[in-house]
Amino acid sequence: MSSSEGPKVEFKIEESGRKLKKAEVDFMRLIEQQNLQRVQKLQRQRRNNKLTGIALGGTVLGIYLYSMFSVKQEKFLDDFEEPVKLEVENKALGMSASTKISKALTSTGIRLPPLPTIRDLVKLYQLRAIKQLSQNFLMDERLTDKIVRAAGNIRDHYVLEVGPGPGGITRSIIRQNPRHLVVVEKDRRFMPTMEMLAEVAQPFMRMDIVQGDILDYRIENAFPDCPQHDWMDRKRAPVHLIGNLPFAISTRLLINWLRDMSLRTGAWSYGRASLTLTFQKEVAERIVAPILSDQRCRLSVMNQIWSTPELRFEISGRAFVPKPEVDVGVVTIVPMQTPLTQVHFDTVEKVIRHIFSMRQKYCRRGVSNLYPPAVREELTELTFKRADVDPLARSFQLSVAECLRIVEAYDGLVREHPEIAGYDYRAPKMQKAVGQEEGDGQESETDR
């Protein structure tokens, strides 16, 4: 045997008197093979455990980083930025140190001092949304900032906020440093939070708190120092109405404001004030709905006669507390320099309401109800002839211009026949309903 070869081990098996039997050798080899397989299996498990640990660690790190951004914990250090260096003495300009500090702080927007979060305030004052008031609180600072940004530049402008609630949107408005902010809140439970924000904002701007109903508030008295702007000026008035509107009054409030817009009263006594408001998603879609749209309705045409509405973005209902059953749309409404009609708002609203009262039927059906039965057929036919509109078209198939031609035709007939101006086809039904209610004490539903 050469020296390069290793020792060769052989199992010596004898036929008689052997020390190790062949079966025993086979068994030992089987055990050895099983041990080898067990070791390989453990090695694979160890490798898989390492991969699983790495994956779990990455997942935990990702969740942590996401929570940092979503809760905005990264803003914690913002309050510790290096302060602006100011020279206290400036005899040439004669400016006080406080004036310089105020200008330095407001040049890039107001950074509010540390305040309780909206959620903390809701818990602190034990605030609960009241269903009758259609209250839904928006807590996410990113969304409230986005709503305020949709209003455009409000720095050094005049802002009226409708229904501030616990103050989410209010904080976002204050950070943009308007000249004068007025908040109108019906629910007195939110007064402490509003007073706290007013105290914080006082060094930089004027903030007034009105405890009352926005439906009764006279906006023309809100900003006594705001100069009036020419309606035909391309630059709009520096007045903005912003709010997370209660769903229950949003449509009624918007119609009231469109009336003020047409008459240039209320907020529009200052000039072409803009609106940035939240509505139920379906209502928001109706406001901006074009001709032939499934959402086309009275609200669409009324808005598009006097303004340019735009659906800016949508907010999931999950972002609100309590969560509403619908999503929300944010709409901006900017008055036109030249409205599409000069007919009085009340006449326009009456005719448009009749046109869309039977949306899926021929528009002739709704328009005919403008006239008393004795002259209904004759004047209805004359209305469509003068308006040059197809009486067999459905209301959602009519353009704004066609609707306005019907309005103008009706307005002309009223001037010729003043006695038809006060006719209301619903009046007999309402009187009948009242009679039934007085007779049997049961409520009767009248036509809407």
Domain with CATH 3.40.50.150 in the chain: 118-335
Confidence check: pLDDT of 328 > 70: yes
* CATH, domain 345-420, list 3.30.2350.10, 1.10.8.100, 3.40.50.970, 1.10.760.10: 1.10.8.100
pLDDT at residue 430, as a whole number = 45
Rounded Cα distance between 165 and 279, Å, is 16
For residue 168, give the nearest of 184, 187, 188, 148 by alpha carbon: 148
Query: Cα dist. 113→38, 110, 156 in Å?
Result: 64, 9, 20
DSSP 8-state class, residue 15: S
Domain with CATH 1.10.8.100 in the chain: 345-420
For residue 159, give the nearest of 195, 118, 204, 206 by alpha carbon: 206
Rounded Cα distance between 107 and 101, Å, is 10
Helix, coil or strand: residue 9: coil
Residues 195-206 have a mean pLDDT of 93
pLDDT at residue 56, as a whole number = 85
Q: Percentage of the chain with pLDDT > 70?
A: 75
Q: Which two tokens stand for residue 247?
A: 């769903």
Helix, coil or strand: residue 447: coil
Q: What is the largest CA-CA distance in the chain?
A: 138
pLDDT at residue 364, as a whole number = 97
Q: Which residue has the higher pLDDT, 448 or 183?
A: 183
Rounded Cα distance between 153 and 171, Å, is 16
Rounded Cα distance between 47 and 433, Å, is 82
Residues in binding site:
136, 138, 163, 185, 213, 244
Q: Give per-residue pLDDT as tens, 57-79.
A: 888 887 877 666 654 443 433 44
**168-175 and 191-201 are packed helices; what angle lies between their axes, rounded to 10 degrees?**
10
Contact 178, 200 (CB under 8 A): no
Residues 124-139 have a mean pLDDT of 58
Q: How much is the mean pLDDT over the chain?
A: 82
| pTM assigned to the model | 0.71
Contact 244, 163 (CB under 8 A): yes
Q: Give per-residue pLDDT as tens, 267-278.
A: 999 999 999 999
CATH architecture of 118-335: 3-Layer(aba) Sandwich (3.40)
Residues in binding site for S-adenosyl-L-methionine:
136, 138, 163, 185, 213, 244
CA 165 remoteness from chain centre: 14
